[in-house]
Chains A and B, each alone.
Chain A
Amino acid sequence: MRVEGLAVRAGDGALLTDVSFQVEPGELVALTGPSGSGKTVLARTLLGVLDASPGRVAGSVDPGGAAWLPQDGLRSLDPLLRVREVADRESLAAVGLSEAGDLYPHQLSGGMAKRVALARALSTRRPFLVADEPEAAVDADLRERLHQHLRTVADAGVGVLWITHDTAAARARADRCLALRDGRLVPFEPPDEPGPPAPTGSPGDVVLAVDAVRFAYRAWRKTSPVLHHAALTVRAGERVALLGPSGSGKSTLAQLIVGLRRPDAGTVLLRGEPPVPGRHSQLLTQDPRAMLVEDLPLDALLHRSARLHGRPPAAVAEALEAVGLSHRAGARPHELSGGELRRAGIARVRLARPSLLVADEPLAALDAPLRGAIARVLFDAVGPEGGLLFITHDMAFAERAAHRTIRMDAGRTA
């Protein structure tokens, strides 16, 4: 895989400038850089999926026949195809999913979808692999396993370009590390991550009470239990971190709490009432783009939210300013970077003034310098009267930022 003097332009701006590097067969090369530095543009150029109209792309790119491991594993899978139809048996075994062949994508957890996407890429038997942040939004164990998989793939002779925000893992695992900044290759220097704001004040009354909740997904002649015994409380002004491995039921519990699903047994009470979507709670989804509507300008979406929640139009400008997006009010989702997407989603839930905000992996897929800043915006959105329940795989972050941490494993809270 060889790139020489690559330049990509969009309108008057340069997305990539004079980028040159190569990846040899059997080499694991990490590509790091902050959000918006051009990593994904580079990946898309290598894969030949970027609009290469005349004058937009210059330089020489030889991808050498690269397979792609996309950032969002679940969305990259065809919802109508079973796992065994997208990846061969050997590749599924290599990622530890031999038993998952009959499942459809909607039956996979986020971590399983990532591994299926990796197995699909391996099934192509291509000589190179471009892996776009495979470790985003997965728990520590799975992150470690995915990194091991990448190393194994490289050791088997495949050249791997690994796009990542995890500079520590990159330094530990990769043969070489590259860094992009403002579209240019710069020397690799791991940044210092600013810590999240520590919790302050003492929690007030109980906002959320979950007690002995059980839940199973039901399909035609098949029941898949997900939650066996979930119990937790969140108080006003309290930040509670919910930790646990992929597939342990965290996201399902979040859906029960905001009223998208009803428990089979047990109770969920929000301000003393069964939850009704949008009344007292808000959900910040794992995928930041899912918080917005495709092609709809951000300010139009926020005005819609303001009307829905009885807020005056001026509240939109206030929310945008609070998350630092006043200058991006008219932008559409595809024009926003990962960090901006997350801020936009927070602005939207902020307009609802929720008593409880449930945030599913709010900092996943963000680079280190951004995480602290986004965490501040997130905590600020809840206010002193609201409770925050955030799902995360980052134990260190949870311990620093939350009043309490709750572990979840195999559908049970501990």
Chain B
Amino acid sequence: MIRALPARLLRQTGPVERVAVAVLLAVLLVGLVVAPFTTSPVTELRGLSAWAPLGRDHLGRNVLARLVGGAGSAAVPFVWAWGVTALGVVACAACSWAGGLVRAAFGAVTGVLGAIPRFVWVLLALSVYGRSFAVLGVAAGLAFLPSAAAVVDARIAPWRTDPSVQADLAHGVPRRAVLWERLLLWECGPDLLRQTLGLFGFVVVLEATLAYLGFAVGEPWPSWGNAVVFDWGRSDVTAVARLAPLVTLWAAAWLATVASGPREQP
């Protein structure tokens, strides 16, 4: 079943989701592996060149290098957020499967979490624990958890009494395999993939918004949000150099958000 899972995810996703997944993987690869932690400021001539096809920013840095380096501003908090959300989703699946008071208690906890606006959570966390991508990611994960948990609970709770699950159990499939392999990965897999894309879009927009408000993680990390905030509106930076970070950020957020939305099964 696990071996057949990639094929199921491919069948259950449309072209927009596949492109979004490709973009997400590229950002993770670039942001966590390829991109250096800092880009060396290049203070040569401003303007487009073969080495700087997107121009240079207000400090003369290569915008392309800065965008590549800035992928980490999406990738690092996303990885933290995904980890927190994944742990929460696993707990939610176990509680939904258990049912009764356990499920009700977990629902109450996520209900309280969900009642507080996401942005407030993140601002609170950054204020208390300081500005870092790890704090940003953990807070984003906690803020996103209620919606992901609601999706998982809505899928798993009715399955407890479903004839198909009864058939699996009567066939001798262990309960843990029914819950984790069959229900969480197989049945919820396509939904969880969409939730993952939604989380990515949320993190990207969150980081940019914090940058605009002056709460972003500062230099030397070349975040996409900072690139937009500091270069937009400056007359000494070329239009291409101003637009490139904005387009990158907008495209990543738009693609992830659209791909995570509800759609008809292909």
Interface residues of A (CB under 8 A from B): 79, 106, 255, 258-260, 277-279, 281-283, 285-287, 289-297, 300-301, 304-305, 308-309, 345, 348-349, 352
B162 contacts the other chain (CB 8 A):
yes
Q: Do B186 and A290 have beta carbons less than 8 Å apart?
A: no
Q: Do B170 and A287 have beta carbons less than 8 Å apart?
A: no
The one of A287, A290, A291, A304 in contact with B1, judged by C-beta atoms closer than 8 angstroms, is: A304
B263 contacts the other chain (CB 8 A):
no
* A292 (CB) vs chain B CBs: closest residue: B164
B176 contacts the other chain (CB 8 A):
no
Q: Do A293 and B186 have beta carbons less than 8 Å apart?
A: yes
Q: Do B169 and A286 have beta carbons less than 8 Å apart?
A: no
* A301 (CB) vs chain B CBs: closest residue: B1
Q: Which residues of chain B (1-41) have a CB below 8 Å from chain A?
A: 1, 3-4, 8, 11-12
User: Can you list 15 A-B pairs, Cβ within 8 angstroms, ordered by A?
Assistant: A106-B161, A255-B166, A277-B171, A278-B170, A282-B171, A285-B166, A285-B167, A291-B167, A296-B8, A300-B1, A300-B3, A308-B172, A345-B167, A348-B171, A349-B171
Q: Which residues of chain B (128-181) have a CB below 8 Å from chain A?
A: 158, 161-164, 166-173
Distance A305 CA – B167 CA, assembled complex (angstroms)? 12
Q: Do B11 and A295 have beta carbons less than 8 Å apart?
A: yes
New A-B contacts (18) at CB < 8 Å, excluding given A287-B163, A348-B171: A106-B161, A259-B170, A260-B170, A277-B171, A283-B170, A283-B171, A287-B164, A290-B166, A291-B164, A291-B167, A293-B1, A294-B187, A295-B12, A296-B4, A296-B186, A301-B1, A304-B1, A352-B172
B103 contacts the other chain (CB 8 A):
no
Per-position 1/0 for B55-79, Cβ under 8 A of A: 0000000000000000000000000
Distance A349 CA – B186 CA, assembled complex (angstroms)? 21
Q: Do B172 and A278 have beta carbons less than 8 Å apart?
A: yes
User: Shortest Cβ distance from B150 into chain A, in angstroms?
Assistant: 14
The one of A259, A300, A308 in contact with B4, judged by C-beta atoms closer than 8 angstroms, is: A300
Interface residues of B (CB under 8 A from A): 1, 3-4, 8, 11-12, 158, 161-164, 166-173, 182, 186-187
Distance A305 CA – B170 CA, assembled complex (angstroms)? 12
Q: Do A286 and B170 have beta carbons less than 8 Å apart?
A: no
The one of A79, A278, A282, A289 in contact with B164, judged by C-beta atoms closer than 8 angstroms, is: A289
Distance A277 CA – B167 CA, assembled complex (angstroms)? 10
Contacting residues, chain A, for B167 (C-beta < 8 A): 283, 285, 290-291, 345
Contacting residues, chain A, for B186 (C-beta < 8 A): 293, 295-296
User: Shortest Cβ distance from B151 into chain A, in angstroms?
Assistant: 15
User: Shortest Cβ distance from A80 into chain B, in angstroms?
Assistant: 8
Distance A297 CA – B7 CA, assembled complex (angstroms)? 11
Distance A306 CA – B158 CA, assembled complex (angstroms)? 28
Contacting residues, chain B, for A293 (C-beta < 8 A): 1, 164, 168, 182, 186
Q: Do A285 and B171 have beta carbons less than 8 Å apart?
A: no
Distance A300 CA – B186 CA, assembled complex (angstroms)? 13
Distance A152 CA – B198 CA, assembled complex (angstroms)? 52
User: Shortest Cβ distance from B104 into chain A, in angstroms?
Assistant: 11
Contacting residues, chain A, for B171 (C-beta < 8 A): 277-278, 282-283, 305, 308, 348-349, 352
Q: Do A260 and B158 have beta carbons less than 8 Å apart?
A: no
User: Shortest Cβ distance from A297 into chain B, in angstroms?
Assistant: 7
User: Shortest Cβ distance from B59 into chain A, in angstroms?
Assistant: 52
Contacting residues, chain A, for B172 (C-beta < 8 A): 277-279, 308-309, 352
Distance A352 CA – B172 CA, assembled complex (angstroms)? 9
Contacting residues, chain A, for B12 (C-beta < 8 A): 295
Contacting residues, chain A, for B170 (C-beta < 8 A): 255, 258-260, 277-278, 281-283
Contacting residues, chain B, for A295 (C-beta < 8 A): 8, 11-12, 186
Distance A291 CA – B171 CA, assembled complex (angstroms)? 9
The one of B8, B164, B169, B182 in contact with A277, judged by C-beta atoms closer than 8 angstroms, is: B169
Please judge, given known A-B contacts A295-B8, A300-B4, whether A290 and B164 are in contact too, CB under 8 Å: yes
Residue from B11, B166, B187 with most neighbouring chain A CB atoms (10 Å) = B166
Contacting residues, chain B, for A79 (C-beta < 8 A): 158
User: Shortest Cβ distance from A342 into chain B, in angstroms?
Assistant: 13
Q: What 9 pairs across the A-B complex have the smallest Cβ distances? A: A278-B172, A283-B170, A290-B163, A290-B164, A258-B170, A285-B167, A285-B163, A290-B167, A300-B4
The one of B4, B158, B161, B182 in contact with A297, judged by C-beta atoms closer than 8 angstroms, is: B4
Please judge, given known A-B contacts A296-B186, A300-B1, whether A290 and B162 are in contact too, CB under 8 Å: yes
User: Shortest Cβ distance from B101 into chain A, in angstroms?
Assistant: 10
Distance A293 CA – B4 CA, assembled complex (angstroms)? 12
Contacting residues, chain A, for B187 (C-beta < 8 A): 294
Residue from B3, B8, B167 with most neighbouring chain A CB atoms (10 Å) = B167
User: Shortest Cβ distance from B264 into chain A, in angstroms?
Assistant: 9
* B166 (CB) vs chain A CBs: closest residue: A260
User: Shortest Cβ distance from A293 into chain B, in angstroms?
Assistant: 7
Contacting residues, chain A, for B182 (C-beta < 8 A): 293
Contacting residues, chain B, for A308 (C-beta < 8 A): 171-173
Distance A17 CA – B256 CA, assembled complex (angstroms)? 43
Distance A268 CA – B223 CA, assembled complex (angstroms)? 66
User: Shortest Cβ distance from A401 into chain B, in angstroms?
Assistant: 23
